[in-house]
Structure 1
């Protein structure tokens, strides 16, 4: 398995489009708790993952080299834990990328989200020359907001978007967090 990033406990590798990737992503999205702040708990259909989502992830590797989604595997057990993302779109301002993560419930509360996110933030500022990393979630998603804060991101704003399906807490909007290169560098410099 080709490994793009390794942390103390995680290996982050690119998705390949394999049947195992489909199974892993489907199993992740099948858990209502994992999907609570994304779809209100509704699972993503296996066909949706196989025919649309996974091909989109693979296409992003080609469009934006160095960016994309990484499957997170626990080094000790080699178990799939979820994914981390550092992504860009055609509309993303130069020098910026968005951080994201989705982990199996069994991995929650063990520091994996922070550990994997810090690895991607380091890649973004160190290897990819980013100036700003952002992350977004629902205002009510306190666990995800705590991960962002542990990684050094700061609250920027609350905003409201029209979503096709309203889910519990959606009326409170979404929040954007950011980390600037200068703040990341300052945090890495010993006092």
Structure 2
């Protein structure tokens, strides 16, 4: 099911076959540099399954990012509930496969997710959780109008929390 569309991309629900596009990305040490480790095949399948469950439970999750030109899945982007300092927040998360870096796809998908969160779901605030040193993710957050709000321990490690508020969009 297609969720969002941009000029070059569309975002849709994961399907089981996405494992073939996503596992090379999630198993790549460079792509997963800011995660505790890269993913095994089973961990990638669990990632897909968790998000499929989120669609039913939360009404959103991470979605497959697909190029309109080829219909190929090049990563994921979407909205995910996270616990930050004992508070539930909605994060815009994104991963783009290495062969598609530096083409603006993450920013394009994240901006569409921000607009979806604010104007389709009715959220008033969104965040991105970013590991210190992840300059590419910081740039994406800033391009969509988010700014650094604080540092917090998330997933047992220090992270930057970037946020944006509806009505105060700078993108």
Q: Check whether TM > 0.5.
A: yes
How far, CA to CA, are the matches of 2:53 and 2:73 in structure 1?
22
Selected match of 1:59 from 53, 62, 84: 53
How far, CA to CA, are the matches of 1:79 and 1:28 in structure 2?
13
Q: Deviations over 1:102-157 (max 9, x none)?
A: 01011111111110000000000001000100001111111110110010001101
Matched residue of 2:94: which SS?
strand
Moved >6 Å (runs of 4+): none
1:139/1:158 contact within 8 Å kept: no
Report the counterpart of residue 164 of structure 2 in structure 1.
Answer: 179
Selected match of 1:148 from 117, 141, 153: 141
Unaligned stretches of 5+ residues in structure 2: none
Report the counterpart of residue 157 of structure 1 in structure 2.
Answer: 150
2:82/2:91 contact within 8 Å kept: no
C-alpha displacement of 1:48? 2.2
C-alpha displacement of 1:88? 1.9
1:9-158 superposed matches below 5 A = 9-16=8-15, 18=16, 20-39=17-36, 42-50=37-45, 52-65=46-59, 67-88=60-81, 93=88, 96-158=89-151
How far, CA to CA, are the matches of 1:36 and 1:139 in structure 2?
11
Q: TM-score, normalised by structure 1?
A: 0.81
Q: TM-score, normalised by structure 2?
A: 0.90
C-alpha displacement of 1:89? 5.2
Greater radius of gyration (CA): 1
The change in CA–CA distance for 1:29 and 1:155 in structure 2 (over 3 A counts) is: same
The change in CA–CA distance for 1:161 and 1:74 in structure 2 (over 3 A counts) is: closer
RMSD, matched Cα: 2.0
Unaligned stretches of 5+ residues in structure 1: 164-169
2:92/2:126 contact within 8 Å kept: yes
